[in-house]
Amino acid sequence: MNDISRAILDRAIHWRLKLSSEDHDPAQHRAFQAWLNAAPEHAQAWERLELIEQDISRDASPLVRAALIKDKPSAKTGTLKKSLLSVALLAVLSAGWANHQRPLRDWLADQVTASGEQLQVQLDDNSMLRLNSRTSVDIEFNARERRLVLHSGEILVETAHGDTRPFIVETEQGRLQALGTRFLVRESNQTTRLVVLKSAVAAEPAKGPDRRVISAGQQVLITEQGLSQPSPAPMAADAWVHGMLVVENQRLADLVATLAQYRSGYLSVDPQVADLRISGSFPLNNSDLALATLLPSLPVRLEQHSKWWVRVVPAEPMPATAE
């Protein structure tokens, strides 16, 4: 569990269970507060516990969320139910934290990157595959075709010449066929984004007949049902290969969401400043420095309770809104 011991996290879970039940009293609250104040690691463990619960409650399946519902044991079965809930909660939270660092399905993928990690792979046909942070992909080459299955994250593909087998990239939303090319594919939030950097790529949705050829300098969004209209590719879309993020008039919330992919822990933005716009270049290998560069440009500050929990919030005071 990184720098927090399992024993401390177990104790935090113990307090979470006690304070969730109906039989706690003021003395318990005082005892909990004493434990919380006894060491910085206790407060950090409690903070992490709350954040993991929020993350799981927002993103997990109904079954996982059900395990986090506050239990109210009866007098007869309370001890047993608390014991079982403690085991379940520990398992769910441990899985939830691991899933935040690397989605559970990634463990079965052929190639996987963690937060802040990138990887370059030379494929059997001499094509080059580059994985961005938090990416998982399967490689399925056979006598008939060359196929990559992108489960999550972003890849850069540069196909080699001289192999007549079709080169396919597949996501849950669709199927892409390279036409002698260099291109980016990102799978996120039930959407695939294709950015063509060289030559062309044929794109089609998973559940529709809409097949189009996207040319160099264009991008398209793909859902299971269809494709968006092609639009100009974003500036320096492949800058991440060189460790940089280049944005132009981007929402602060979107910038922060991208930076969050390159660091461990939780990074978020206050809704009051989420729609602020920013342009610039930001280092991906030092997200703390990237966040610090926001301060001179925008009316924001960083609210940081530990190295694992950072939030971009309004500066005090916020400038008056123009009428």
pLDDT in tens, 264-300: 777 889 999 999 999 999 999 999 999 999 999 899 9
Q: What is the pLDDT of residues 238-259, one digit of tens each?
A: 999 999 999 999 999 999 999 9
Q: What is the mean pLDDT of the chain?
A: 81
CA distance 306 to 308: 5
Compare 214 and 304 and report the one with higher pLDDT.
Answer: 214
CA neighbours closer than 13 Å in the CB half-sphere of residue 93? 26
Cis before 296? omega within 30: no
Task: Say if CB 271 and CB 314 are below 8 A apart.
Answer: no
Q: What is the pLDDT of residues 135-194, one digit of tens each?
A: 999 999 999 999 999 999 999 999 999 899 999 999 999 999 999 899 999 998 889 999
Q: Which CATH number fits domain 107-232: 1.20.140.10, 3.40.50.720, 2.60.120.1440, 3.40.50.1580?
A: 2.60.120.1440
What pLDDT shows up at residue 179? 94
Provide the angle, in degrees to the nearest 10, between the axes of the packed helices 40-59 and 6-20: 70
**Which region, left, alpha or beta, applies to residue 213 given φ > 0 means left and ψ of -120 to 50 means alpha?**
beta
CA distance 177 to 213: 9
CA distance 193 to 289: 28
- The DSSP bridge pattern shows strands 300-306 and 309-314 to be antiparallel
Rounded to the nearest 10°, the torsion over CA 317, 318, 320, 322 is 170
Give percent of the chain above pLDDT 70.
74
H or E element: which one contains 260? helix 252-260
CA distance 86 to 13: 7
Q: How far is CA 26 from CA 33, 139, 248, in A?
A: 11, 58, 53
Q: What is the pLDDT of residues 49-82, one digit of tens each?
A: 766 555 445 444 444 444 444 444 444 444 444 4
CA neighbours closer than 13 Å in the CB half-sphere of residue 292? 5
- Residue 103 pLDDT greater than 60, yes or no: no
Give percent of the chain above pLDDT 90.
50
Domain residue spans in the chain?
Answer: 6-101, 107-232, 243-314
Q: Which CATH number fits domain 243-314: 3.55.50.30, 3.30.420.10, 2.40.70.10, 3.40.50.720?
A: 3.55.50.30
Compare 320 and 233 and report the one with higher pLDDT.
Answer: 233
What pLDDT shows up at residue 41? 84
